[in-house]
Structures are given as C-alpha cells and as structure tokens.
Amino acid sequence: MMEQYLSIKNRYKDSLLFYRMGDFYELFFEDAIIASDALDIALTKRGKSNGKDIPMCGVPFHSADNYLPKLIKKGFNVAVCEQTETVEEAKLNLKKGPLKREVVRIISPGTLTEDNLLQRKNNNYLGAISIFNGSISVAWVDVSTGYFKSRLIGKENDLNQKQLLTNFMLRKDFSEILISDDMDMDYIIDEWHPILKKQSPSLFHYQSCFDQICSYYSVVSLEGIGSFSKGEIIAAGVLLSYLKLTQCGKIPFLSMIKSENINSFLEIDYFTQKSLEILKNLSGNSEGSLISSIDETKTASGARLLRQRIIEPFYDLNLIQDRYDVINWILGNNIDINNYQNCLKAIPDLERSLSRISLLRGSPRDLLLISKGLLNTKEIFENLTLDQQKNLKPKLLNSILDSLKIDYSLFLNITKALKSEVPLIAKEGGFIKDGFNAELDFFRNLRNNELNQIMKLQRKYSELTKISSLKIKHNRMLGYHVEVRTIHDQSIRNIDLFIHRQTTAQASRFTTNELVDIETQILNSFDKAIKIELEIFNNFANQILQKGKEILKIVNSISELDISFMVASQSVFRNYVCPNISNDKILEITGGRHPVVEHQMRLTQGSFISNDCKLNNKDFIWLITGPNMAGKSTFLRQNALIAIMAQAGLFVPAKKAKIGLFDKIFSRVGASDDLARGQSTFMIEMIETSLILNTSTEKSLVILDEIGRGTSTFDGLAIAWSVLEYLHEKIKPTTLFATHYHELTVLKDNLNNLSCHRMSVKEWNNSIIFMHKILDGEADKSYGIHVAKLAGIPSEVTEGAAKILSDLQNKNQTKKSYSKEVFTINLKEVENFLKEFDKIDVDDISPRQSLDFLYKLKLKRQGIGKSKFKK
C-alpha cells in the first residue's frame, strides 16, 4: 500500500494527497505534518520507513467537505485519490496487493465547483498571465459558472504596464493566478505572491495553446470567435491545459471565450473602487458598501452579474439604453413585479449545477435543481409573453424572450422521473420514482420480497432455536448474519444448520446456506437496480449537456431580468429615477442622494438631505470648501456612485439626472498609512494622484478630496494649487475638488471653467450646526475648534486652542499689513530710481557724473532701509 501511495504522490508533488483508505482519506509523511497543523487534527503514525515511524493523519470520507475549505482557503492544492477498482474486478484479474487507486481530481482555489466552498454572489476566478513580445495579456475563467474571458492589458510601448496590470488584477480579486516559471517577477506586486502558481514555460507555447482552444471549441480557426492577441491566446490555452490537468482529463462546460476591449466599459481603478467603497467598506467588510446596499437580486447569477456591472459599468450608450427600455417597459405596463421576483427566487444556481454535471461530479440533486429552475423560467417566459402584448416590446426584452423559447420537455421528464428528495451521490441509488421504469420496478420488488423473506427466516430460526432475542442483521463486513447473545452461543452451535462466523464480547454471529442464497439474490437485485438508475441519470445528464449553450443563454437572460425587476422595484420603493444618458460633457444631478448612507438612514428612520450637482462643458470643475464633518466627502462620493450606477444600467437616487458617458472614474478620497509597505499617507496620496494626472482624459470624472493634507501647509497648498491648475488647463476632466485650503478660491478669477461652492454651516450659541447642504461661494472659516468640541475634546484644550488661534491671527494680520506697506514703499522708490536712470545717456556721461550717480543710488538704498526699519 505504501509503495502505491508513494508512486501516486510522486506524480502530484505540489498537492496534498487525500489517499482513500476505506472510510477515510489518509495523508502520510510531510503531507500529514502539514495537514494536521492546517486542520488542527491529531498527527499519528502508521508503519515504518527506513526504520523511522511514518507520520499519518486522516479525515472521515463522509465529512471531508468540512475539512477541504480550510485547506483551500490557506492556498493548498488537494489531490483526491479514490479506489477505482472493485474487489470483484481484482479477483477476476487474479491481482494481488492493494486495489487500484487513482487521483480523480485536483482541488485548487481557482477550480472549485462545490457550493459549500464558494460564495453564492461572487465569481471565483482562475487567471493566467502571459508576456508575449513585450505585451501583457490576461485570461480568466470561473470554472463553477463557465465564464471565460481574455484581455490585452498593456503593450510594450506603454510606460505604465505594471500599473495597468496591478489595477486590473486587484479589481478582479483572483483566487489563483498561473504564470510561467521564467516570468519577470518585477511585474508582480508582493500581494499576489501567495496565490501565484508557477507553471512550466513549455505550457506557454503559442501553437500548443492555439490548438488547445481550437480543440475545445471544435473549430479550426478563431476568426469566427473573435479577435485575440497572441498573448491572450497563450493565456487562454494555459488555462485550458491547467483545467485538463486538475480535472484529470475532464474540462467543464465553458461559454465561448470573449476578448474584453479596454474601451468597452467605464474603467474604475482599484484605488477608486476602494475609496468609493463599491464592493467593501474601508474596513474590508461588505456591509456598508455600494453593492450590499443596492443588491436586491433574487438569483445567484443575477447577483454575480450585478457585481460585475458595478465594477465594470458600460461605456456604450446603446447597451445602457437597452436596459433602461426594459425597466421602463416593466414600470409602464403595470407589471406585477413582486410575482416575477417570487418566481426568480425559486430559480437555483443553474450555472454551477451545469458545471458540476459537465465535470462528472453532478448529483441527482443537480439534475433536479436544473429542471425545476428551468421550469420556473418557462413560467416567467409564458407570463412575459402575455404581458408583452400590452405595449411595444423593447429590443432587449425580445432577445431575452427568444433565448427562453426552448423545448422544456426534457426538464419536465426529469422532474417526473426524480423523487422530491434525492441523494447527493448518484451511486447510492434510490432517486428514481416508482413507476418511471418497469425494469427498475421489477428489481426493486424482487429486493423487497427478498427482504420479506429475511424477516420470515428470522421468525423461523427464532422458533427453531427457542431464542426469542435472535435477530438477522447486516453490516459491511459480514453482510446478512444471525446474531444471538453470547449466552446462547453453545446451544446454537449444536444445531448443524448454523455456521459460525464471529464472536464478540456481547454477541455470537452465524450464517446459513439459506441466508447466503437470499443475500446473493438481494445483492444482485440491488446492483441491477442501481445500474439502471445510473443509466437513467447519465442519460439525463448527457441530454442536459447537449443543451448546455442554451442553458447558459437562459441564465444570462434570467440574470438580466432579475436586475431589471430589482431596479423597477427600487424605482417604486426607493424613489430612484431613470437618468438621461448622453455623450455630452455633463453631470447634472438634481436632488442627488448617497445610495449607501440613505439606505442606512432609512433603516434607522432618518432622512437624507439631498444636494444638486451641476457640472458641464462651461463649468467642469467645482472647488468645494467647508469644515470637516460638514458633508464634503459624502457629496463627492455620492455623485461618483450615481455616475457608476447610471452607466451600469441602474436607476439612481435623485429627483432628476443628466449624465454624460465617462470613460474612467478616479476618486482620491481619504488615505491611511501602509506600514507594511513602508508608505506614509502622503506617499499613498501622491501615488494615487499621479495615476489620475497620468491616465485621466477629458471624458473622465475626477473626485479629489483634501489633496496635500499629508504634508506641511505650504507644500500641501502648493501641490493642491498646481494639481487644480493642471486639471483645468491640460486634462479638463469633469472634476469635484474639495479642499480645506481656502487660499485656492482665488483661482476662480483666473480659471474660467472653475466655480466655488461651500458646505452650509450655521453658528448658534457658540456652537455650529452642519446643514449638509451645498451652496454657491466659498467658506470663510474652517471651524476646526468647533469640530474639536463636537468630537469631545476637553473644554480646557479647545479654549486654549481658541486663544492661540486668536493670537496667531492677530500676528498674521500685523505681518500682512506690514508686508503690504513695505512692499508699497519699495515699489515707489524703485519706480523713482528707474525714471531718473532712464534720463541718463550712457554714451555721453563723464566719470565724475557716474560717480555722483552711484553715491545718489547708495543714499536712496539707505533711505529705503531706514524707512523699513522705522516701520
């Protein structure tokens, strides 16, 4: 057995080998030490190797799913090794030694398909990076849903290739990334290293990768699929090879691969996604994020599509308008939204069930889930077909109905065949209804009759032996056997009919020739029944796979409908409105509200104070001043989030909204020290600002809050001033710029497309009240000491601060007036001197006159000095 184990382990050195022994998965040697520590289970020993004990640990087969997630989350690959030969087969082959075992699957973080190992609303991406002729490409796949895409990230002449790759990868949140063993690691930031899986460079050969893709899709050319760079083909081919390896020859059902164009969606870099709290709040939790506040989808696939839309909104006016047309059709035709949402709620995760079936890991439950789910879509299709007659149907709705128009008879047949409660493993049988298959019914009846014969035998043997406690029992080792208490052992041995099998402390066990014959018949009928059930299961599974493309199209359509009904519901219950989207340079939002803050306030019975934002081609920069806590950051974020929601095809929290298409959104709101990487707040701020200034365009939306606050006042002011001028003069993006540097407001006189706005604050009883309203003009105070009072700073400290502030302001005022007066005197003296100097003819002046002029200049210089001193 140990020779067999080592032989298999040698082929899977990079994985922990789960070696099946009876009812346990066992691990040995180094694997056992690693697994016992990672799983916090006992490390024992079994046998010896070179005179030393062999470390061993194990987990029960039936509860392996409780242990696997811990190993996968810690980044381990697990090779599952099963017994692939029966005792009968071994006897037929006259084989000696352990039964044949093979690895049937390698489980890695990026290849999961089990529901208990995956998050329902999140995709689980496996990625591959290739560098070909200096260009970086990435391909990614979600094995559990069949999602498959690629993208050219950066060409060799792009100066910021690493930055582009970093932003893209951080945004995707990969579980596992494949790279070539000889890849330049300078491209890879440290955060990714734990999830990198280095592969042989030979795997990244262009022609073999091209052949892998063509073979999988059964095509001879990729021209009919789409346009791909050579790097994308390599990355995609590597993924297919890796899947074939980890799934032991089986590749899941994948959608047709698509190349993602860099300009096909609104680009939101990682820093912006983080600062706007799109997927997670600043603490790293989902609660309080945009997605958690607006996601009211009813299906798992709908939730995943919404998440994808939010981080990669459309950059195509037609695609956005198509979504609005469907939502407005729902709202305009008095459709029962609640009824449709109840139907959607009953649709299970079809994509993941289909994936498991394609990998031969599907169960009767997956068949039942797919069938019931698709019959629910049939009901939705029929209802929509009736409802659509009310008004002219939108183009996208037509497309959705076309994809739902399939033959549902297979799924109806499956629900007729399967019991309502089915096992997770097909090999156990017992999932086909009585009456569905006549041959199956025959063997089931035969088995039931034989079980009745067992009961008759028990009564017969009990009467024969005069032992009322005699029972006929069954276990895996002995099969059916007669069991009596040990006190009856000798009396039963005296009867020739009974053949002794086993004695324990409490019982003696026997068999009879008659019992052996009945057991053989039971086993034969059971095996035959199981075989028939498996044939029915496999037949259904194959038919479902033949409809795989249709099912994936249906899933996509159902996800679209799910989001559409969600948005329609939010229009009714949240007062969200349909924005007017155009190609103009405009962000005009009337009565805008922050979707997350409003949602949280609604839960606490509060009300959100709305604000207007009117940016356009003539007034594309708003400079916003006001104290901390007055609502500047909320105002900035809410407008960025409204723009993102609009381009994602969602309605927005506002009374009215006109929004131009943005190609990129940048947000620099708040920062914190990154001690692990040795970067200060200011350094992070400058890195993020650098990205904005280097990659934003006139069609971008830029949100900047308190630029320059991480350094000295004058340095910070100088940087903020220069950044603002650069944005206005060079890039000209639509910009919201909040600052505590009131000095910047003078820029309104020189920058024609900039206007000043302030947060409303009321002073009352030596305190302040934040009105959370934005007004035209500039703030005259920062109210820092008032804010300190509100924060609970002791009164002695705030009173002392008020005195110091008063002294500083007085000194500053004196300094300003003095400087201004001296500056005026200097200017007059210089002007008089220059007038006198202009009268001199340099070519017609004697040495004596020159000397007199220098003395005069010296006296004037002294006079200026004296007047300055007197002042």
Long-range contacts of 481-488 (CB under 8 A, 24+ apart): 481/509, 481/510, 481/511, 481/515, 482/509, 482/510, 482/511, 482/512, 482/515, 483/507, 483/508, 483/509, 483/510, 484/508, 484/510
Q: What proportion of the chain, given as a percentage, has pLDDT over 90? A: 55
Tell me the per-residue pLDDT of 170-211, one tens digit each, with 9 for 90 and over.
788 899 999 999 888 777 777 788 888 999 999 999 999 999
Q: What percent of the chain has pLDDT over 70?
A: 85
Segment 127-177, tens digit of pLDDT = 999 999 888 999 999 999 999 999 998 776 665 777 788 878 878 889 999
pLDDT (0 to 100) of residue 867:
39
440: nearest Cα among 428, 430, 450: 430
Between CA 328 and CA 395 the distance in angstroms is: 13
Phi, psi of 394 (to 5 degrees): -70, 160
Q: pLDDT class for 857, splitting at 50, 70, 90?
A: low
The answer to whether 491 and 470 have CB atoms below 8 angstroms apart is no
d(CA 88, CA 93): 9
pLDDT in tens, 38-64: 999 999 998 888 889 999 999 998 888
pLDDT band of 869, cuts 50, 70, 90: very low
pLDDT at 316: 95
What is the pLDDT at residue 743? 83
Torsion sign, CA atoms 176, 182, 183, 188: positive
Q: Are 657 and 590 in contact (CB under 8 A)?
A: yes
pLDDT (0 to 100) of residue 868: 37
SS3 60: strand
Q: Who has greater pLDDT, 386 or 825?
A: 386
Q: H/E/C letters for each residue in 554-566?
A: HHHHHHHHHHHHH
- The number of helix segments (H) and strand segments (E) in the chain equals 27, 29
For residue 848, pLDDT over 70 is answered with: no
DSSP letter string, 805-831: HHHHHHHHHHHHHHHHHHHHHHHHHHH
Whole-number average pLDDT of the chain: 86
856 has a pLDDT exceeding 60: yes
What pTM did the predictor assign?
0.82
- Lowest-confidence pick of 178-187, 291-300, 590-599, 614-623: 178-187
Rounded mean pLDDT, 824-839: 59
Checking 854-860 for CB contacts under 8 A at 24+ apart, the result is 857/833, 860/829, 860/832, 860/833
The pLDDT, as a whole number, for residue 449 is: 83
Q: 148 — phi, psi (to 5°)?
A: -145, 120
DSSP labels for 518-579?
HHHHHHHHHHHHHHHHHHHHHHHHHHHHHTHHHHHHHHHHHHHHHHHHHHHHHHHHS-EE--
pLDDT tens across 70-122, in order? 898 888 999 999 988 877 777 777 777 788 899 999 999 999 888 888 888 99
